[in-house]
């Protein structure tokens, strides 16, 4: 009977040591620098480090005949991926007018072919610098530098 009690005590002591060791390992990121990222115990530095809320991006937007602003989603560029669309705009801006103008014309043709954007008359490809909080929470746009603009030509009407 004494050996059963001793075995139970050893088992509980072992369980306590294992639990303590696991808690120490899981809690160790708190003691490390936020930029010291390691698998499997990450400090998630992308969330633990202060970041500037101002972002500069290249993108396009549509202007309606009434002068209102319309967002132009990535599928109009032929992709469903936001990051891929961002790279398309970055590449076009880096190439200057030689790549911007054909992209604008291509985007204008896609807009003209999509009835949901029938009110869009002009495409603007810009480089904008926005504060993320102001943009997302307060709907306030920052500074924009227009790179190119082009008109949206309505599709030809079919003869009856």
- Mean pLDDT on 115-121: 95
Please tell me the pTM assigned to this model.
Answer: 0.70
pLDDT band of residue 69 (cuts 50, 70, 90) is very high
Return the axis-axis angle of helices 97-113 and 82-95, rounded to nearest 10°: 140
Domain locations along the chain: 2-48, 54-151
DSSP type of residue 119: T
Q: Tell me the helices (H) and strands (E) count for the chain, helix number first.
A: 5, 4
- Among 147, 148, 107, which Cα is nearest to 127's? 147
- Mean pLDDT on 103-111: 97
């Amino acid at each position: 009977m004494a050996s059963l009690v001793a075995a139970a005590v050893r088992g509980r002591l072992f369980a306590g040591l294992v639990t303590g060791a696991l808690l120490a390992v899981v809690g160790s990121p708190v003691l490390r620098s936020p930029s010291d990222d390691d698998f499997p115990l990450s400090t998630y530095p992308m969330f633990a480090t202060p970041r500037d809320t101002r972002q500069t991006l290249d993108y396009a937007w549509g202007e309606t005949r009434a002068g209102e602003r319309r967002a132009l989603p990535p599928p109009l560029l032929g992709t469903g991926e936001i990051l891929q669309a961002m790279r398309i705009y970055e590449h076009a801006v880096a190439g200057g007018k030689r790549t911007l103008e054909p992209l604008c014309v291509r985007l204008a043709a896609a807009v003209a072919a999509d009835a949901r954007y029938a009110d869009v008359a002009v495409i603007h490809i810009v480089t904008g610098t926005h504060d993320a909080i102001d943009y997302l929470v307060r709907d306030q746009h920052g500074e924009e530098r227009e790179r190119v603009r082009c008109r949206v030509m309505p599709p030809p009407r079919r003869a009856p």
